[in-house]
Structure 1
Amino acid sequence: MPEPSPVVISSAANPEIKALRALESKKGRSEQGAFLSEGLRHVVEAVRRGWRVRRLVLSESAGSGALLREAIEGCRAGGGRVLTVTDELMTRVARRDNAQSVIAVIEQRWAPLDTVRAGPGVTWLALEGIRDPGNLGSIVRSADAFGVAGIILIGHTVDPYSTEAVRASMGSIVNVPLVRLDEHGYLDWHPGWGGRTVGTHLAASDRPESITRGPPTLLVMGNEQSGLPERIAVTCNHLVRIPMRVGADSLNLAAATAIMLFAVAAPADA
């Protein structure tokens, strides 16, 4: 196989690097319709899942091997370009000292609303107004682990394709379909959802273990500060409260969501 690139890029002023750095901002990601994913294993997972890799950026010390060849071939098969940069520049692009040796620019995907369908054992997750990208990425990771069919992002939820969210997802971002809706869109759509809707609420008396697994389920979780707004909570036909020690502060949203996913969606073969 020929070398990934005959020229090793060393300057941050290179147009390819500028386009790469632009993906650090929400505006840049929106304009390019792409995001950054770091790490060879995560890039190969994206290739295997059929995601289009527009650019594959390798550091000089990336080495070789079957997985790297698979990533390169997957990138080129989709019409993408493979670039090689100095280790120093890779550190600057990644903005951390322990930078990965492989970074990919991957085309974003958004699933249409009509993919959200009820079915036996199917669980969808809806998140309203999530503010913290680390929380969102961790939730995507949990959703992947528990076999969730996809995630509906309601209202002003943080960008799931931000670098922090993608990092926190540990590669799961390419395994979990994402749907975007504003609040009015969700409220208009929800009456047609064919399954039950479960949410968490401080005023609820039931506990997560009261939920039976199996029926099609939409789990709805609110944001880190205020939880579910009442206009969303009233769409739930089952509200539960996660028990905690008296005097304890609220759970981290990612932890609370993982607990609820275990209650409603733990795979039968786990």
Structure 2
Amino acid sequence: MQIQSPQNSRVKEWAGLLEKKQRDKQGKYLIEGIHLVKEALEAQADMECVCYEAEAGIPHELAEAASAGLDVEWIGVSAAVIAKCSDTKTPQPVFAVVRKDGGALQPLLDTAGGLVVVLDGVQDPGNVGTIIRTADAVGADGVIVGAGCADIYGPKVLRATMGSLFHLPVVHGKLDELLPQAKARGIRLAGTSLQAAVNCYAYDFTGPVWLLFGNEGSGLSPEVRGLMDDGLIIPMLGRAESLNVAMAASVLLYEALRQRHFSPGTVSYNVN
């Protein structure tokens, strides 16, 4: 199948997914570029279609997936269609429409010894995407996205995840309801705090812990801060006042990885 006109009704529907309102209404989102599309195909995400520039043909990196018999529609489109469905100045030759996966919160509550990231009002798309990518890198059990965060299905967030959105559960949750449930199950809620007395390198990350990260300017909301069990401080020897929230998340997540898998007495993974 091929579609040449940017005025085609399906193309208009796809282009609408560049806006959050339409993503919410349709329950779908766009991913752009060979890497993201390949990651989604390999993860067997719920994909409606893959659109590629007809003149160039299906990118060779995706040729195997295209012939694998997956329940995905492959559509050749014109460069004008690709441009209409892209939010970048130099569109890549392929994009896909993916159906949203609402995800389930219960498995994160039930995971013994779980390591979960909780985002509370993190507004910058790059920060949200980078934190999801880092959580994936350290083998966290999932990411919970609370109110006020950048849309995880927005183009900038998706690019920043580099495909990690397809590797671990990333789910929305009402933190005022969810965090008390976690505490009742013995899960510790920890987050950075400039007033904290606990050095993050002295904290025990080996038990069940959910790491809380708040808004870039104001930090955790008062409601979430009030539920936090442990305030952690990241030591800084220089004169920087603070760290970017994505960098702070990386520091804590990699300390958790070190304690869980690379401390004396643990069996470390082979690193190629």
Which TM-score applies when normalising by structure 1? 0.87
Contact kept in structure 2, 1:211 and 1:263, CA below 8 Å: no
| Secondary structure in structure 2 of the residue aligned to 1:218 | strand
| Cα distance in 2 between the residues matched to 1:233 and 1:147 | 25
| Corresponding position of 1:210 | 202
Residue 77 (structure 1) aligned with residue 86 (structure 2):
no
| Cα distance in 2 between the residues matched to 1:93 and 1:230 | 39
| Corresponding position of 1:105 | 97
| Corresponding position of 1:160 | 152
| Corresponding position of 2:26 | 32
Q: What are the equivalent positions in structure 2 for 1:96-175 lying under 5 Å apart?
A: 96-117=88-109, 119=111, 121-175=113-167
From 201, 205, 211, the equivalent of 1:219 is: 211
Residue 243 (structure 1) aligned with residue 243 (structure 2):
no
Instruction: Letter of the 1:77 partner, please give it.
Output: L
| Corresponding position of 2:192 | 200
RMSD in angstroms over aligned alpha carbons?
Answer: 2.3
| Secondary structure in structure 1 of the residue aligned to 2:123 | coil
Contact kept in structure 1, 2:43 and 2:167, CA below 8 Å: yes
| Cα distance in 1 between the residues matched to 2:87 and 2:144 | 30
% identical equivalent positions: 29
| Cα distance in 2 between the residues matched to 1:38 and 1:71 | 16
CA shift, 1:119, in A, is 4.6
Distance 1:220 1:16, change over 3 A: same
Distance 1:35 1:64, change over 3 A: closer
Number of residue pairs matched?
262
| Cα distance in 2 between the residues matched to 1:128 and 1:214 | 23
| Cα distance in 1 between the residues matched to 2:88 and 2:60 | 26
Residue 20 (structure 1) aligned with residue 14 (structure 2):
yes
| Cα distance in 1 between the residues matched to 2:207 and 2:176 | 26
Contact kept in structure 1, 2:57 and 2:76, CA below 8 Å: no
Gaps of 5+ in 1: none
Instruction: Letter of the 1:222 partner, please give it.
Output: G
Contact kept in structure 1, 2:191 and 2:232, CA below 8 Å: yes
| Cα distance in 2 between the residues matched to 1:20 and 1:182 | 29
Residue 60 (structure 1) aligned with residue 54 (structure 2):
yes
CA shift, 1:244, in A, is 2.9
Instruction: Letter of the 1:30 partner, please give it.
Output: D
CA shift, 1:156, in A, is 2.2
| Secondary structure in structure 1 of the residue aligned to 2:7 | coil
